[in-house]
Amino acid sequence: MITFDGDKLPPAQQLILDVLAARYRTGEPFWNFADRLGPAIAALDRAGLVEPMGYEGPGRTRVGLSDAGRDRMLGSGYTSPMEQARARATKVEDRYGALLLAVTTAWAELVRRERDHAGHGRDGHLDGEDLGLFREVVFGEQGR
């Protein structure tokens, strides 16, 4: 990697890094640049700050920040709002998954109880006792 003083970057190189950092913040890890910026992109690539992705169409090159470029422009450990939203969604999905598991478990327990009581004079329908069990298993409530 070439040693690079970021304060002394030529304007085109700084602009490329600024655009890529701004795009990354919005969740877009790449951006297309005109081929006329090829020399600036090549210099940033040699410095290890960007990763050219190749041809994106006539006269266009797709480029993204490298890990070093992200650290330099955004700070280490930066996560984009898109990544933060994805992480929050995963947590919500985990909570709903846990709830679905609890509901499924409770339903299976109710079915088992109904099956076990089928020969003991019960009518085979869910009643208040069953609803209490269901609430207890799913919500941790005591027969509310």
What pLDDT score was predicted for residue 6?
54
Q: Are both 60 and 88 inside the same structural domain?
A: no
Q: Are both 66 and 19 inside the same structural domain?
A: yes
Give the integer Cα–Cα distance in Å for 142 and 129: 11
Q: Residue 144 domain-assigned? A: no
Q: Which of 74, 94, 113 is the last residue of a domain?
A: 74
Q: Which of 21, 55, 74 is the last residue of a domain?
A: 74
* Tens digit of pLDDT at every position of the chain (144 positions): 344 555 689 999 999 999 999 998 887 889 999 999 999 999 999 999 999 987 777 889 999 999 999 999 998 888 777 777 777 777 777 777 777 777 777 777 766 666 666 555 455 555 566 666 666 666 665 444
**Number of separate domains in the chain:** 2
Q: Are both 86 and 70 inside the same structural domain?
A: no
Enclosing domain of residue 124? 81-139
Residue 68's alpha-carbon distances to 26, 64, 72, in angstroms, are: 19, 11, 6
Match 């992109």 to its residue by tokens. Answer: 41
pTM here is 0.56
